[in-house]
Chains A and B, each alone.
Chain A
Amino acid sequence: MLKYIAGRIIQAIPLLFIISVILFAIMNSIGDPLAIQLSQGRPPTGEERLRMRRRMGLDQPIYLQYIYWMIGNDWTYIDADGDGDTDENIRGPRKGVLRADLGRSLITKQFAQVRIMERLPNTLILMIPMYILAITMALVLGAISALRQYSALDNLLTTAAFVFYSMPIFFISLGMIFIFAIGLRNWGLPHTPIAGMFEPGEPKTLTNLIRHLILPASSLAIIYAAAYMRYVRSSILEAMNADYVRTAYAKGLAKRRIFAIHILKNAALPLVTIVGLDLPFVLGGAVITESIFAWPGMGLLFIESLTRSDYPVLMGILMLIAVAVVVLQLLTDLVYSLLDPRVALMGQTG
């Protein structure tokens, strides 16, 4: 097992390197971080703009920018004042990704890792309860739907799953706001806040957090649950018709025992795969939902950084997701082998 894990990690290194090269090239073609900053008053002259670019190192060839991003620039002299000449007494301030320095945000000048760590917990606060809710709903509703195949309830649940899965998230989010924040308020009933994570000026209590969490988490959970429910339903149906289940019935095992041990466990395999594929993107947050509900998570940070061409932060977020994909794929494979002993990992015999 350990040999397998070590092999997968070694395989991931060139993969992550290639991903970083591709992402860096893309990030450097998404616009000028200075262009977005020209929104107030007198624009800088061309010379002033050029100086700003030099100070940020944006005038360097892209391969050199990549090298600085990867291994830092503290080994070389830089043009600190942006006059076009290298300052022979000033070395670059960056250590590079390999030494855990993602660089400073071009916009806030904070370290990119600080920006990310400010927002990552908020995204996890949103996404973990959302995922638990979505998977619970999917399992319960998918099981009900499968156990009552072709009944009116099955048809209703299946149709609802199709409808919610097809619905754009912004539509569901705005609908939820309209009903639970505005409608309930207008009817004089307890209502949820429209947006945000806490009420400004109020204590950051769990109650305050939960009030704000309800709408964004529910909006996302509805869509995820609708998608997963379809998998759960079809997997359970497939398992219910399997020979081993028929055998279990023939042996006179209790229905609940058959369902829990023989059907649900086997039906969970496709769900594990799908959730394993989706989980890394949890770290990236939910761009639209976080934007609508002003939830200060990774999705919002991503979209802010994208519109401001803040590529050190963007690279940080995307590389975090890339690493998470590699790690969670490995974990998924391990969980798979635990759930289904027939699945052999490389180096193991079945």
Chain B
Amino acid sequence: MKGHWLRVMLIVLISSLMLSVVVGAASGQEERRVLRLAYTQEPPILFDYFSDLGVAWNLMRIHSLPPWGRDGAGTVVGKLVDVLPSEENGGVVHNLEDGKTIVSFTLADWAIWSDGTPITAADFELVFDVSKDGLSNMLEFRFVNGAALDSVAQGETEKDVIITFSFLQPDWTTATFVPLPNHLLREDYEAALAEGRGMDTMEWLRAPVVSNGPFLFAEWDSGSFIRYTRNENYAGDVWFDDVVISFYPDNTVIKQLLVNGETDWTFAIPILEAQELVNENSEILALDTFFSGGRMELRFNQGPNGHPALRDSRVRQALSMAVDRQFIVDELYDGNTAIPRSFWDGTPWFYEGTPQTAYDPEGALALLEEAGWYDDGSGVIASHGVEGVEDGTELALTSATYAGGGFTQYQDVLLVVQDMLSEIGIDVTITHYAVNVIHAPFSTDSPYATGKHDLFVQGWGVGTSTIDQLELWSCDSIPSEENDTGWNGIHACYPEMDDLWDVLGTSLSADERQDAANQIQTLMAEEAFTLFIVNLLPALTFNAQLENVSWHVTDIPWHTLPEWSFAE
């Protein structure tokens, strides 16, 4: 018996020693400066030309740069050019007759690919060819912000590029896109076309071994990580040797990695949770937020499937007045965001005169009563003498927002809104849907496109640097069997606003465009078809030793990445 226990103990001891050796095995590699980024999503490819997923868009900007882009302050800066084109230097010419803008620029001599080959007009022409080949399934709206790209040509020398586009907005700064290395890709691309395939099927998009950004693609272990190394031919100093992007689908794990010092940076933790994490670990972690141009909105469905009360702007206004947005900012976000004062708040096109909706529950009840919706003693708010609505119709609403762990702030805000509306006697029921369900086309019976609910809490982005012509609220974009992919699921149709959007897209007069933007902001506030609840501020949670960290959602999110470093 004694021998039996001795054997057992010996086995346990040997197993423990083996385990210690295995788990304690340390790497004997040379010390490199490695920046470790954690994402929840893996990109499908490393170019957003063929994928509109945010992760493809922002990772592309680590290895590839356009001729120019905006810095953190929104100023346009050259990335591959010494001199920016402008109307003054003749680099930008607007042709009013045919609605075209021609942008000409010269690539700097120092603008070279990582293999040392100069970047030339041919590299831009390749992108243009891919966008027009009819096979590459390219997202044309990625180019020049949705305007039609008419031609890309070489000027006098191979370093001179001439881009012509039809303007949806006459802003030359949008005529920028990342070139592709023609000297490497042209042959394979044409071979693919000959086989009836487009560039979107080329493996190179997952392994761009030649690029022009501060870092260069090194390896991609599918489902695990992508590793970049420093581009030795980059025209500037870069502090880190490697950037490793690892993918952890569960952000609980990312939190532990941050606390353990096993990752350095993420924006995968929703702001409410990031605040808590950083407060608990303030010595090792830091938090930063940035204006993404995104708004969280409470959208009122005026369509045939929405509650009839919501077709009256007074009711929508009343519901807006019943939502205490400052409480949401202070209590839910710890003051780490702000109430958007209009669609363009935070951009140069914000109109100071935009009417603001103040929290006023009593005023809301009065306005509801004026519209014919009040409690006559029965305990519920119901219709009384409202045209087209049967008397006694209860004002009880259904609402929807996104499902899933990445959307907790939407779910939390909708819960608060539900509480606030119940305080003025309006019951709201809540349903959550996956993003790919709620934003699906009309023909798939999507809850938003078919207007299944009365209220929608959603997030939409506004360009931080440009005035976009959007189809979120135009009369033509109401989804239907004929218009399967329209965006205007809440049936907010104002012909006068459609005309104003057209002015934004076509007028060359800055004053005229600003005036149109002002009128749009006023009309949106008066008609109250949507309530901007809070600015969506993605949270950067990172190692407190990391210096010079900044990030933003414009052309080059990683605009300061070469300068990121660890404190000594």
Contact = CB atoms under 8 A, between A and B. Distances in A.
Interface of A: 29-33, 35-50, 52-53, 55-56, 59, 80-81, 87, 90-91, 93, 104-105, 107-110, 118-119, 122, 174, 177-178, 181-182, 185, 190-202, 207-208, 210-211, 214, 291-297, 300-301, 303-304, 307-309
A210 B23 CA distance: 8
Contacts of A198: 221, 224
26 contacts: A29-B444, A32-B439, A32-B446, A33-B436, A36-B436, A39-B52, A45-B141, A45-B487, A47-B485, A108-B206, A119-B223, A122-B223, A181-B256, A185-B260, A190-B23, A191-B23, A195-B257, A196-B225, A200-B225, A200-B227, A200-B246, A211-B25, A295-B223, A296-B223, A300-B249, A308-B436
B28 to A, nearest CB: 10
B483 A52 contact: no
A208 B468 CA distance: 50
Given A109-B45, A210-B22, A214-B23, A40 B440 contact: no
A263 B554 CA distance: 70
Interface stretch (B6-14, B193-201, B320-328, B515-523): B193-201
Given A29-B444, A50-B485, A35 B438 contact: yes
A41 B141 CA distance: 10
B194 to A, nearest CB: 12
Given A109-B200, A118-B223, A194-B256, A80 B135 contact: yes
B456 to A, nearest CB: 14
Nearest to B41: A304
Interface of B: 19-20, 22-25, 27, 29, 32, 34, 36, 41-42, 44-45, 48, 50-54, 57-58, 134-135, 137, 139-141, 145-146, 196-197, 200-201, 205-206, 221-225, 227, 242, 244, 246-250, 252-253, 256-257, 259-260, 262, 404, 434-441, 444, 446, 460-461, 463, 468, 470-472, 476-477, 479, 483-487, 553
B52 A38 contact: yes
Contact of B139 (A35, A52, A81): A52
B253 A177 contact: yes
Given A44-B52, A194-B260, 19 more contacts: A30-B437, A35-B446, A36-B53, A37-B51, A38-B439, A44-B141, A45-B146, A48-B140, A107-B44, A118-B222, A174-B252, A198-B221, A201-B32, A201-B242, A208-B25, A294-B253, A295-B223, A296-B221, A296-B247
B224 A296 contact: yes
| Interface pairs A-B: 8 shortest CB-CB | A296-B223, A31-B436, A190-B24, A32-B440, A35-B439, A81-B134, A108-B44, A49-B485
B44 A303 contact: no
Contacts of B51: 37, 107-108
Contact of A46 (B135, B222, B477): B477
A59 B485 CA distance: 11
Main SS at interface, chain A: loop
A39 B54 contact: yes
Contacts of A190: 19-20, 23-24
B440 A31 contact: yes
B297 to A, nearest CB: 14
A108 B45 contact: yes
Contacts, number: 222
Nearest to B142: A41
Given A45-B471, A201-B244, A182 B260 contact: yes
Contacts of A59: 484
A174 B477 CA distance: 46
Contact of B436 (A30, A41, A177): A30
Contacts of A56: 137
Contacts of B224: 196-198, 200, 294, 296
Nearest to A106: B44
Contacts of A35: 435-440, 446
Contacts of B485: 46-47, 49-50, 53
Contact of B23 (A43, A211, A294): A211
